[in-house]
Amino acid sequence: MKLLGNILWLLLGGLEIALGWAVVGVILCISIIGIPLGLQAFKMAGLTLTPFGSTITYGGGAPSLVANIIWVIFVGLWMAIGYVVAGVINCITIVGIPFGLQAFKMAKLALWPFGATVS
């Protein structure tokens, strides 16, 4: 089921979103200051490629908390809102519920990416 979900996810827009995240990551990594943000964008790209079956564990301590607060203020809130809206739209139909749940998982990662690991 995970394989089928990931294939459908990629065909219905996941590949384009992952490529967008990868491009943002490359652009952010051009400057030294942007490297930590670029690494988080690559983390989102990886989750966007195969969300079904992926798990996210959170940790990292105080440095991650400070970085996440800065992230939320500048970009995280808007990205999380976008993923939540996409999740709600997907959950309107019974067929879309699994895709909506994956969008909610990505919303949480988009809100607090520092200190999180995707496996």
> What amino acid is encoded at 85 in this protein?
V
Give the distance between the most distant pair of CA atoms in the chain: 45
Which of 3, 107, 115, 23 has its CA nearest to residue 64? 115
Cβ neighbors of 71 (< 8 A, separation 6 or more) are: 37, 40, 112, 113, 114
Rounded Cα distance, 38 and 21, in Å:
9
Which of 94, 95, 90, 92 has its CA nearest to residue 107? 90
pLDDT tens over the chain, length 119 residues: 789 999 999 999 899 999 999 999 999 999 998 999 999 999 999 999 999 999 999 888 888 999 999 899 988 999 999 999 999 999 999 999 999 999 999 999 999 999 999 98
pLDDT value for 72 = 92
User: What's the pTM?
Assistant: 0.88
pLDDT value for 80 = 93
Query: What b-and-e string marks burial along 56-68, b requiring 16 or more CB atoms within 10 Å of the CB?
Result: beeeeeeebeebb
